[in-house]
Amino acid sequence: MSMQMYREQILDLYENPLNHGALDPHDFSYEEDNPLCGDVIKIDVRMGEDGRVTEVAWSGDGCAISQASASLVTEEIKGLTLEEIKKLDKDFILELLGIPLSMARIKCATLSLKVLKAGAYGIPDKSEMRKHL
């Protein structure tokens, strides 16, 4: 896919997000912001009896990169276990987005993964999260 097509995909996901909303009940939920730019992402996850993600939803506000990333991440984790989620890294997100990003934009892109992993680890607050991510 060309860079232009990836950029168009990001804008399309910003305008037409996947899995946008909330789940109630959910098995875990976490919300975090990026204080540098104001992006906010909350992810709710429902697990099946087999220990795999059956449903996932996200909500929040922010730039096109953070919002597209949340759509892509929530789509890709369906069917994964918590252990598989815990192993995901920055490269997972960058590959999904498919475009080079500046350091500031990498923080936008990885916010949804940070939120997801904090929920998967059952981390109660931001200070504790930094120890695991």
Q: How far apart are CA 29 and CA 25, in angstroms?
A: 10
Does some domain include residue 70?
yes
User: Which of 31, 35, 97 lies closest to 60, judged by CA?
Assistant: 31
- What are the tens digits of pLDDT across the range 9-52? 888 888 999 999 999 999 999 999 988 889 999 999 999 999 99
CATH code of residue 19: 3.90.1010.10
Does some domain include residue 127?
no
Does some domain include residue 132?
no
Number of separate domains in the chain: 1
Q: How far apart are CA 124 and CA 66, in angstroms?
A: 22
**Size (the chain), residues:** 133
Q: For residue 44, what are the domain limits? A: 3-121
Does some domain include residue 131?
no
What is the band of 130 on the pLDDT scale with cuts at 50, 70, 90? Answer: low
Q: How far apart are CA 119 and CA 42, in angstroms?
A: 10
Give yes or no for residue 129 having a pLDDT over 60.
Answer: no
Give yes or no for residue 123 having a pLDDT over 70.
Answer: yes
Does some domain include residue 16?
yes
What's this model's pTM, rounded to 2 decimal places?
A: 0.88
Does some domain include residue 10?
yes
Q: What average pLDDT does the chain have?
A: 89
Strands (E), the chain: 28-34, 39-47, 53-61
The residue among 93 and 2 whose pLDDT is bigger is 93
User: Which of 110, 98, 96, 120 lies closest to 37, judged by CA?
Assistant: 110
Does some domain include residue 57?
yes
Give yes or no for residue 71 having a pLDDT over 60.
Answer: yes
Does some domain include residue 126?
no
